[in-house]
A and B are shown apart, each in its own frame.
Chain A
Amino acid sequence: MRARVFVTLKKSVFDPQGQTIADALHSMGYGTVEDVRQGKYFELDLAASDAAQARALASEVADKLLANPVIESYRVEVD
């Protein structure tokens, strides 16, 4: 099964790269882009029997390695 993990800085943590990208978009005339958060994207191929197991496994490795819980949060999608 495949899991996708999206890691971004927590809402409470300032994202200087996302802010700079938002500023750049504004200078290009995209004033309707209100905010940008930059992050990382991982594709995991998992030996898991069902979606629940895949989700649990992906969440576990995200907690332990893919994201730094001090500054980052993550979201998992499974298909």
Chain B
Amino acid sequence: MKFAVIVFPGSNCDQDAYHAATAVLGQHAELVWHKDTDLKGADAVILPGGFAHGDYLRTGAMARFSPIMREVRTFADRGGPVIGICNGFQVLLEAGLLPGAMLRNKGLKYRCEFVNIRVEQTDTPFTGGARAGQVLRIPIGHGEGNYYAPPDVVDKLEENRQVIFRYCASDGSSSDESNPNGSVNAIAGICSERRNVVGMMPHPERACESALGGTDGLVILESIVKAFAPA
């Protein structure tokens, strides 16, 4: 299969995502510049982490004006799988492809560390290979990952099972201590109503090789590869 990794000015996890897709998973991938207007025939789109457009105004706020986002929206509207990682998640929120917004972390600190997240739902293209309740140890690196949505929107996300990852302790239990940024309901990742668009703050591409300190991120990218594997 083929991934498109979108590169905004200020993206800095694009090479990591490209490396994970090609060298680790053995798939095709193409780096697609934000001014391009063509996804190069990709089967799945990755919006990588970083600081798109310098995080000017708000994180992710300017990226929605990048020409490639029109294509990403069309691709998502057709049901194509899209994953936004960290800043990519922030871009999806600002572009209105996912509901909610990000606030400054509750403790005001930029948190860069391994955290545990619990897989809540497995019927998305990016969690199909995981078990419900599986705990993944994956790093985060963000200053604004405190997910917020108005209470009625959060209720709807929960009702529709759109919360797909929650911060937790290593045994899978959730508490204030295991929530690194104050996200409402310990939300670490959500999907769209149609389930093909996924946003998550932790970085699965940074946990795909044991040399990087863990391989728990693999299941997320492998899920999408399996979804496209010839039967």
**Partner-B contacts on A (CB < 8 A):** 9, 12-14, 16-17, 20, 65-66, 68, 70-71
Contacts and interface: CB of A to CB of B under 8 A. Distances in A.
B149 to A, nearest CB: 7
Interface residues of B, number: 19
Given A16-B182, A65-B57, A65-B61, A70 B108 contact: no
Contacts, number: 35
Interface string B138-170: 000000001011100000000000000000000
A54 B163 CA distance: 42
Given A65-B57, A66-B57, A68-B58, A16 B105 contact: yes
A65 B94 CA distance: 10
Interface stretch (B29-37, B96-104, B191-199, B201-209): B96-104
Interface of B is mostly: loop
Interface in B168-227: 182
Q: Kindly name the residue among B58, B100, B146 whose own CB sees the greatest number of chain A CB atoms within 10 A.
A: B58
Given A68-B61, A70-B149, A70-B150, A17 B108 contact: yes
A7 B136 CA distance: 38
